[in-house]
Amino acid sequence: MSEKVFVLGGEQTDFQRNWTKEGKTFMSMMREVLDDALEKVGISYDEIKRLNKENRVAVFVGNFDAEQYANQGHLGAFLTEVNPALYGVPGARYEAACASGSVALDAAITHIRAEDYDLAIVLGVEVMKTVSSSVGGDFLGTAAYYEKEAKGVQFPFPKLFGKLADVILERYELKEERFMDALAEISRINYANAKRNPKAQTRTWFMNKEHAMARGGDNNMAVGGRLCITDCSQVTDGAAVTILASKDYTKEYAKKTGRKVDDIPRVKGWGHRVAPITFEAKKQESVGDKYILPWTRQTVKDAYKRADLDVKHIDVFETHDCFTSSEYAAISAFGISEPGKEHIAIEEGTIDFGGKKPINPSGGLIGVGHPVGASGVRMMLDLYKQVTNTAGDYQVKGAKNGLMLNIGGSATTNFVFILGK
Amino acid sequence: MREIKTVTILGANGAMGSGSAGVIAAFGGAKVHMLARDVEKAKQGIEAAVASVKTDTIRARMIPGSYDADLEKAVAESDWVFELVAESYEVKEPINARIAKARRPGTIVSTVSSGLSIGRLAKAYDEDGQKHYYGTHFFNPPYKMILCELVTHSGNDKKVTQALGEYLDKVLGRAVVYTNDTPAFAGNRIGFQLMNEVAHFAEKYADKGGIALMDEIMSGYTGRAMGPLATADFVGLDVHKAIVDNIYDNTKDEAHETFKLPGYFQKLIDAGKLGMKSGGGLTKVVKHADGKREKFVYNIKTGEYDPYPKFDIPFIKEARQKIKDSDYKGAMDIVKNASGFEAEIARYFISRYISYSLSLVGEVVDTKENTDGAMGFGFNWVPASAFVDFLGGPKETIKMMEASKIPVPKLLKDAKEGKKFYELGDKLDARSLFKG
């Protein structure tokens, strides 16, 4: 596995941008991000044409809900609008709610492992600022079991992840104050990290621990049980591209660009598991288990096994902090702490930017923003930056191996990838 | 980096005072003395500060006070005194005299003035005070507009300037642009040049569409969210007058004549029609009985308000479509090659804007990145250097400038072809400032 799929790099849009306000569309977003990514990686459209003649290149588009947000489907074919060099290139759209980017990555990785293609362009995209937040909240409800969990519910996802916070608190018999303090610290870390990331949605926003702790009232409203605005990631418009390659192509590429194959990171492991779709079923199933999200833990274990690595080998994590409670649960799923003791890892600074196991140096979904279909691809791009020492101001010193967890629904679809050199 | 724990804000109840105080108390975590004419006004300023940064956590460290009762005590315990009282020497100088007496050595004092001489205001202070006196020109609203022009004068100490710049950047999250003590500094000098010259053209072409036509020609496809005259109407014609008069009186450059206030602006000001804040100026919006709003525009010839017209200018439509598709160079090709007087005007003003921005390097700022930052972060206009790239590079830009009879700045003549001219790309994606 680890000698089969390489990552050559990519690019993301500035997640602070509001494309509707700019009078632009998801199509223009796709064009900008793909042009930028190819330029950054050093692959021209002529090169794509050359590879396409030999049927060696394909595109994979991750997107959750363009039908509702932009009244457009069939996005896999849409890259032909970006540039005619993509005429004839195999392309399809992949969807798994907030893990749409990862399912696109998974398809690309699979095709390269199977030696179907040599180059895979993975593009995650979501335009979300086309509608009000309450209408958008209803659209997002389709990532849960809409009829049972979202229909008629205002902002269903904060409520589902608020329930996760409730279960964590009860199951592990935590002191509420200490637990909520830990969640606030997760929020503080993600916002602080995002300040170093020039593409982060929240880089100019105010946030500190004091504000994250001040839950309730007009300025930090409760939106899902215990969870308030500061516990939530926020939707935005955005797209990200990562470009994957076979070993053969990576050799060609390395020669052409004057790099060494050993310096180009490889996908070392992956995991993919699907938990019961409703939160209630997840809760019932996990009774008696050490982990509240056992399938998330299993996905991480699968990836470790395939990579022949363990938590001790991972220098940096990008996790799906759609809410502070999801990042909290991920800490034990990664093996950084025992389940029920995540708060200790947080208190000790283990997951902070300068800690032993930094999580979300980019700012994560809370800091970078969460354009749903783009998030998984953005995480992979951030792992690439970290392990190639190109993350600029948010570089984790000496990062060699990185792990990402991207989830769709209420931790329903779980994807993990490990990237390293 | 300089440690700033206690700050005094003078003018705490104004929009700039409360907004700046909110940023300082929130991002800086500082204790802030909020001073106004009376304590009630200062308390209103605190509430406005809380609302501007949307966090109740700052309320407890904001202390209301009045100039009469509290100025000396507040200043004496402050690391930074930020003065935001009315924009005139007559108001600022007596206040500075009081601050000068009360301040401890080492305390920074700054003003938000958008045009007054920082060197002249600094004269109220002793040597240490002059060393620590600056212009910190924040933009409105401070939480959203992150530009801060840090204006220095000849008496400053470079080490203090650097430490203050770092604090404004790293702690308060400002995009800091360093400017010299020249009239209106960088952002307003460039921005109001364009706005005022466009206003003159509106008069010249009053019978062809006047104000509305000029804003259409200079609309989003030219790299700004709001037309230049809509911007003048937004900031207020009285403020516009104060800024252009100051530049006209105190500078002599190639664009000198363009800073003369147009006669119809003065007429509107005299009639109390100052812009949006007074219910009408260059434009006005009327709410009808059925609740519908209708926009009107001032007719320079008749002095009446006409319904705001719609225009159908083919090259603008085509350029807008290109921007919508994120084809920025394609849009600029259309602008470069279109015929008709509207296209000529567009080329003239794009040329003027780039030329004037770059011509100020050396006088107002040390590097073009400072004028680029001022326009990008302060006005949300595509910076001049980025325009050069979208137009196809220095040669193409020079060609357009020469055809429009606009002087070519040395910086552009000396620029290397085939190399990106815009260097702030990692901080500010200029593409996001074009509107399709």
- Interval A170-225: pLDDT, tens: 999 999 999 999 999 999 999 999 999 999 999 999 999 999 999 998 999 999 99
Rounded to the nearest angstrom, the minimum Cα separation between B428 and chain A is: 9
Q: Which residues pair with B82 in a beta bridge?
A: B9, B110
Report the C-alpha gap between B123 and B129 in whole angstroms: 9
A206 close contact with B: CB closer than 8 A? yes
CATH at residue B115 = 3.40.50.720
Contact B110, B149 (CB under 8 A): no
Per-residue exposure over B342-367, b if at least 16 CB sit within 10 Å of its own CB, e if not: bbebbbbbbbbbbbbbbbbbeebbee
Contacts of A28 in chain B (CB under 8 A): 324-326, 436
Binary contact (B426, A22; C-beta < 8 A): no
Is B415 found in the same domain as B267?
yes
B168 close contact with A: CB closer than 8 A? no
Query: What is the SS3 string spanning A160-205?
Result: HHHHHHHHHHHHCCCCHHHHHHHHHHHHHHHHHHHCCCCCCCCCCC
Binary contact (A28, B55; C-beta < 8 A): no
Q: Is B92 exposed, middle or buried (0-12, 13-18, 19+ CB in 10 A)?
A: buried
Query: Has residue B306 been placed in a domain?
Result: no
Between B55, B57, B432, which is nearest A22 by CB?
B432
Contact A419, A268 (CB under 8 A): yes
Instruction: Find out whether the peptide bond into A198 is cis, omega within 30 degrees of 0.
Output: no
Is B69 found in the same domain as B42?
yes
Q: Which two tokens stand for residue A239?
A: 């797209």
Report the C-alpha gap between A98 and B375 in whole angstroms: 37
CATH at residue B382 = 1.10.1040.50
Is B402 found in the same domain as B323?
yes
Alpha carbon B75 to its chain centroid, in Å, reads 28
**pLDDT tens digits for chain B (436 residues)?**
789 999 999 999 999 999 999 999 999 999 999 999 999 999 999 999 999 999 999 999 999 999 999 999 999 999 999 999 999 999 999 999 999 999 999 999 999 998 899 999 999 999 999 999 999 999 999 999 999 999 999 999 999 999 999 999 999 999 999 999 999 999 999 999 999 999 999 999 999 999 999 999 999 999 998 999 999 999 999 999 999 999 999 999 999 999 999 999 999 999 999 999 999 999 999 999 999 999 999 999 999 999 999 999 999 999 999 999 999 999 999 999 999 999 999 999 999 999 999 999 999 999 999 999 999 999 999 999 999 999 999 999 999 999 999 999 999 999 999 999 999 998 999 999 999 9
Closest CA to A164 of A413, A417, A412, A416: A412
Between B54, B146, B436, which is nearest A22 by CB?
B436
Candidates B432, B433, B434, B435: best to mutate against A (most CBs of A within 10 A) is B432
For residue B254, report the phi and psi dihedrals to the nearest 5 degrees: -60, -25
Contacts of B55 in chain A (CB under 8 A): 206, 211, 214, 219-220
Q: Which residues pair with A414 in a beta bridge?
A: A273, A407
Rounded to the nearest angstrom, the minimum Cα separation between B434 and chain A is: 7
Binary contact (B173, A195; C-beta < 8 A): yes
Report the C-alpha gap between A37 and A19 in whole angstroms: 19
**Other C-beta atoms lying within 10 Å of the C-beta of residue A223:** 20
Query: Has residue B284 been placed in a domain?
Result: no
Q: Is A216 exposed, middle or buried (0-12, 13-18, 19+ CB in 10 A)?
A: exposed
Final residue in a domain of this structure, among B135, B154, B180: B180
A94's CB contacts (< 8 A; 6+ apart) are: A60, A61, A62, A63, A100, A103, A104, A106, A107
Report the C-alpha gap between B244 and B266 in whole angstroms: 12
Contacts of A214 in chain B (CB under 8 A): 55-57
Between A28, A31, A211, which is nearest B57 by CB?
A211
Residue with tokens 């690595």: A309
Q: A4-128+233-255 domain in CATH 3.40.47.10?
A: yes
Per-residue exposure over B1-28, b if at least 16 CB sit within 10 Å of its own CB, e if not: ebebebbbbbbbbbebbbbbbbbbbbbb
Cα dist from B178 to B137, B149, B312, B341, B362, whole Å: 10, 6, 42, 38, 12
User: What pairing do the DSSP bridges indicate for beta strands B293-298 and B283-287?
Assistant: antiparallel
Rounded to the nearest angstrom, the minimum Cα separation between A182 and chain B is: 19
Is B52 found in the same domain as B103?
yes
Final residue in a domain of this structure, among B165, B180, B195: B180
Contacts of B61 in chain A (CB under 8 A): none
A210 close contact with B: CB closer than 8 A? yes
Is B228 found in the same domain as B121?
no
Q: What's chain B's Rg over C-alpha atoms?
A: 22
**Other C-beta atoms lying within 10 Å of the C-beta of residue B247:** 23
Q: Name the packing angle between helices B263-270 and B237-250 (round to 10°).
A: 130
Report the C-alpha gap between A31 and A83 in whole angstroms: 8
Report the C-alpha gap between B136 and B378 in whole angstroms: 13
- Interval A242-273: pLDDT, tens: 999 999 999 999 999 999 999 999 999 999 99
Q: Mark the ranges of chain A whose per-residue pLDDT is less than 70.
A: 1
B184's CB contacts (< 8 A; 6+ apart) are: B114, B115, B192, B243, B246, B247
Residue with tokens 């972060």: B377
Binary contact (B54, A198; C-beta < 8 A): no
Q: Which two tokens stand for residue A387?
A: 């392990």
Report the C-alpha gap between B203 and B262 in whole angstroms: 8
Cα dist from B21 to B51, B81, B310, whole Å: 11, 11, 42
Binary contact (B431, A198; C-beta < 8 A): no
Candidates B59, B226, B326, B389: best to mutate against A (most CBs of A within 10 A) is B326
Is B176 found in the same domain as B56?
yes
Residue with tokens 């008696």: A288
Rounded to the nearest angstrom, the minimum Cα separation between A122 and chain B is: 20
Closest CA to A90 of A79, A100, A105, A81: A79
Query: Has residue B286 been placed in a domain?
Result: no
Rounded to the nearest angstrom, the minimum Cα separation between B90 and chain A is: 36
pTM, full prediction:
0.96
Contacts of B325 in chain A (CB under 8 A): 24, 27-28, 31
Q: Which residues pair with B222 in a beta bridge?
A: none
Residue B297's pLDDT is what? Answer: 98
What is the length of chain B? 436
Rounded to the nearest angstrom, the minimum Cα separation between A278 and chain B is: 35
Which residue is closest to B144 within chain A, CA to CA? A204
Q: Which residues pair with B83 in a beta bridge?
A: B10, B111
B57 close contact with A: CB closer than 8 A? yes
Q: Which two tokens stand for residue B336?
A: 């470069």
Between B26, B27, B436, which is nearest A24 by CB?
B436
Contact A15, A200 (CB under 8 A): yes
* Secondary structure of residue B127 in the 3-state scheme: helix
Candidates A125, A195, A206, A213: best to mutate against B (most CBs of B within 10 A) is A206
Binary contact (A24, B50; C-beta < 8 A): no
Binary contact (B55, A214; C-beta < 8 A): yes
**Other C-beta atoms lying within 10 Å of the C-beta of residue B418:** 7
Query: Has residue B294 been placed in a domain?
Result: no
Contacts of A210 in chain B (CB under 8 A): 57
Q: Is A236 exposed, middle or buried (0-12, 13-18, 19+ CB in 10 A)?
A: buried
- Interval B68-115: pLDDT, tens: 999 999 999 999 999 999 999 999 999 999 999 999 999 999 999 988
Which residue is closest to A13 within chain B, CA to CA? B429
Domain span including residue B46: 6-180
Cα dist from B224 to A2, B175, B199, B258, whole Å: 48, 19, 16, 20
A23 close contact with B: CB closer than 8 A? yes
User: What pairing do the DSSP bridges indicate for beta strands A401-408 and A316-318?
Assistant: parallel
Binary contact (B56, A219; C-beta < 8 A): yes
**Ranges of each domain in chain A:** 4-128+233-255
Number of A/B CB contacts below 8 angstroms equals 61
Is B264 found in the same domain as B165?
no
DSSP state letter for B392: T
Report the C-alpha gap between A384 and B60 in whole angstroms: 44
Report the C-alpha gap between B116 and B113 in whole angstroms: 6
Binary contact (B324, A206; C-beta < 8 A): no
Mean pLDDT (chain A, rounded):
97
Is B141 found in the same domain as B17?
yes
Report the C-alpha gap between A282 and A298 in whole angstroms: 14
Is B208 found in the same domain as B164?
no
Contacts of B60 in chain A (CB under 8 A): none
Q: In what order do the strands lie in the sheet with B175-180?
A: B62-66, B31-36, B6-10, B80-83, B108-111, B133-138, B147-152, B175-180
Residue A1's pLDDT is what? Answer: 56
Final residue in a domain of this structure, among B150, B180, B210: B180
Report the C-alpha gap between B205 and B195 in whole angstroms: 15
A14 close contact with B: CB closer than 8 A? yes
Is B225 found in the same domain as B268?
yes
Rounded to the nearest angstrom, the minimum Cα separation between B11 and chain A is: 23
Is B198 found in the same domain as B88?
no
